[in-house]
Amino acid sequence: MSKLGFVGLGIMGAPMAGHLIQGGHEVYLFSRSAVPQGLRDMGGKACANGKEVAASADVIFTMVPDTPHVDEALFGPNGIAAGLSKGKTVVDMSSISPIATKDFAKRISALGCDYLDAPVSGGEVGAKAASLTIMVGGTPAAFERVKPLFELMGKNITRVGDVGAGQITKVANQIIVALNIEAVGEALLFASKAGADPAKVRQALMGGFAASRILEVHGERMIKRTFDPGFRIELHQKDLNLALASARALGVSLPNTATAQELFNACTAHGGAKSDHSALVRALEKLANFEIGQRAS
């Protein structure tokens, strides 16, 4: 049994922390909102702040929304850094700036601790099912030490390279996901407006080369109009901002990523920032003045 810490217990963090507790570990918990009672009932130990978590645990995980939140969790008043001692490991599983990640790692390393960036893909469904894809940056030794803990939360676990490589991979992942959501939305909208049953179109396409996880999960959301968030539009906007800013710095053009971001922006302008990212289709529907599943005139 290891002593672990987990800071950030939202849609993703709560089930991830739960898997660590179920794995037989002693887990110390902190969130800006109250620690969920369900985690307490499982044996999780609520702490007053990140400093207390870090002082109590040997490996501390963070899972918060954006770069400033990681900065605050690590280095803010009563943050994780204040409770660290030599030999501990900090694992950030948030999706944030690769550049900031390298700076955070340098500052944690100066305290005699290891740092891994380990963003995830799979959304709320993957977090609950412990089937997340985990993309890791950091030293081989630190990765191997933490890998058994990753295996409690995910299935596809890859050390991509040194610190920052995990975040670079996650940005690439978010580009692919956004463009696939847009493609599925366009295809189902086209089929529906042309008079075909979008549910049957999706079923047919799932047996061919167009089959994908996005078509399977988010195609169904688009048809059934179930846009309660597994992954919010505002968070995907944040990730595409990272992609586009990094692309500018690298001198790389990402034209379709920019288009997907504009569609997310349109959704946000209509009050959809907190909807699931599959609701990007709503922007396409407004452009077409037609909703998937609507009877074509």
Bridge-based pairing state of the strands 45-46 and 26-30: parallel
φ/ψ (deg, to 5) at 26: -90, 115
d(CA 259, CA 32): 34
Catalytic entry in 51, 88, 128, 170: 170
**Residues in a beta bridge with 109:** none
* Token code pair at residue 61: 């995980």
The runs of H, that is alpha helices, within 136-228 are 140-150, 165-193, 198-205, 213-224
Quote the CA–CA distance of 240 and 22 in Å, as a whole number: 34
Between CA 220 and CA 235 the distance in angstroms is: 21
With contact defined as beta carbons under 8 Å apart, do 116 and 136 qualify? yes
DSSP 65-82: SSHHHHHHHHHSTT-HHH
Residue type, 52: E
CA dist list (Å): 67 to 10, 230, 241? 16, 20, 12
The neighbour count for residue 24, using CB atoms within 10 Å, is 11
- Torsional sign, CA 167, 170, 172, 175: negative
With contact defined as beta carbons under 8 Å apart, do 147 and 185 qualify?
A: no
Assess contact for 20 and 74: CB atoms under 8 A.
Answer: no
Determine whether 224 is an active site residue: no
How far apart are alpha carbons 191 and 185 in whole angstroms?
Answer: 10
Q: Which residues are catalytic?
A: 170
